Amino acid sequence: MRIRNTFYFQTRIYSGYPLLTLRTAWVELRRRWHSDEMSYGLRFDLTQPFDIPKAEPPLIIRVLSNDDIPLLFNLRRSDISVSEFRFVIVSLMLIKAHLPTCYVAVTKDNYPCCMCWLVQRSDYSNYHVRNSNRSYPLQPGEVFFDNIFTPHGVRGKRYMRFMTLRLFEKARQEGGKQAIAFISVKNASSLAGSKVIGWKPFIIKRIRWRFFRSHTTFEPYP
């Protein structure tokens, strides 16, 4: 996420959430001034058989629509954190850029319960042009999963597991052999959920920020 784009979106929503916007901007400045970040690169073999559990209530997977956005991102919650607020900013940037393809899982009433980006290799470079950090070099047959998100009010219902497996199925039908995703080491709940789904770590991504310049490296997972 380029810093000028970050502040552009924060400015657009500043009038509604001034304190949260200022806190997020301050955290982002500190992060880019001096920080060390680490993520696990995860892989799922799409050629292996896997079962897709039923979701209750039944869910349908479709492409994100504009009507889904205010239902997915409730910024009026009093307990919204800086990290979630930043995630919303990143997501809105990607949606605004009309990059393929963001999917949502919706109920029979068309209410979105989960979202995820499924990025084919042909679209991968355009997707990551919004990111100032060096991206993982996606290989032929690999598809990228990113910005997986479940709204606060429906967490703990295993919707993310159902949606991820359904998107695995879709990616396989479109010729995908391996699914790739990255999760921060600080995101314990997502790492635990990924293990249940069947994601396996294969690489470590490190980002070193010094004086607003980043250096990204990849190393094999032990």
Backbone angles phi, psi at 123, to 5 degrees: -105, 0
Task: Tell me the mean pLDDT in the region 68-77.
Answer: 85
Q: Is 50 exceeded by the pLDDT of residue 55?
A: yes
Q: Which residues contact 52 (CB under 8 A, 6 or more apart)?
A: 162, 165, 166, 169
Compute CA distances 42 → 100, 113, 118, 179, 182, whole Å.
21, 23, 14, 8, 6
pLDDT tens digits, one per residue of 171-185:
999 999 999 999 999
Q: Is 50 exceeded by the pLDDT of residue 7?
A: no
Cβ neighbours around 143 below 10 Å, total: 26
Q: Is 60 exceeded by the pLDDT of residue 169?
A: yes
Percent over 90 (pLDDT), the chain: 56
Find out whether 216 and 205 touch, Cβ atoms under 8 Å. Answer: yes
What pLDDT score was predicted for residue 89? 81
pTM above 0.85, yes or no: yes
Which domain CATH number covers 13?
Answer: 3.40.630.30
Omega of the bond prior to 58 within 30 degrees of 0, cis? no
CA separation for the pair 222, 218 (Å, rounded): 12
Q: Is 90 exceeded by the pLDDT of residue 62?
A: yes
Q: Is 80 exceeded by the pLDDT of residue 69?
A: yes
* Model confidence band, residue 30 (pLDDT cutoffs 50, 70, 90): very high
CA separation for the pair 216, 200 (Å, rounded): 21
Handedness of CA 185, 194, 125, 60 (dihedral sign): negative
Residue with tokens 């600080």: 186
pLDDT tens digits, one per residue of 92-121:
888 888 888 999 999 999 999 999 999 999
Q: Is 80 exceeded by the pLDDT of residue 63?
A: yes
Q: Please, which residues bridge with residue 52 across strands?
A: none
Q: Which domain holds residue 121?
A: 3-220
Beta strand 142-149 pairing with 178-184 = parallel
Domain count within the chain: 1
Share in percent of the chain as helix, strand, coil (round to 5): 40, 30, 35
Mean of pLDDT over the chain:
87
Tokens of 189: 């709940």
In the three-class reduction of DSSP (H, G, I as helix; E, B as strand; rest coil), residue 61 is classed as strand
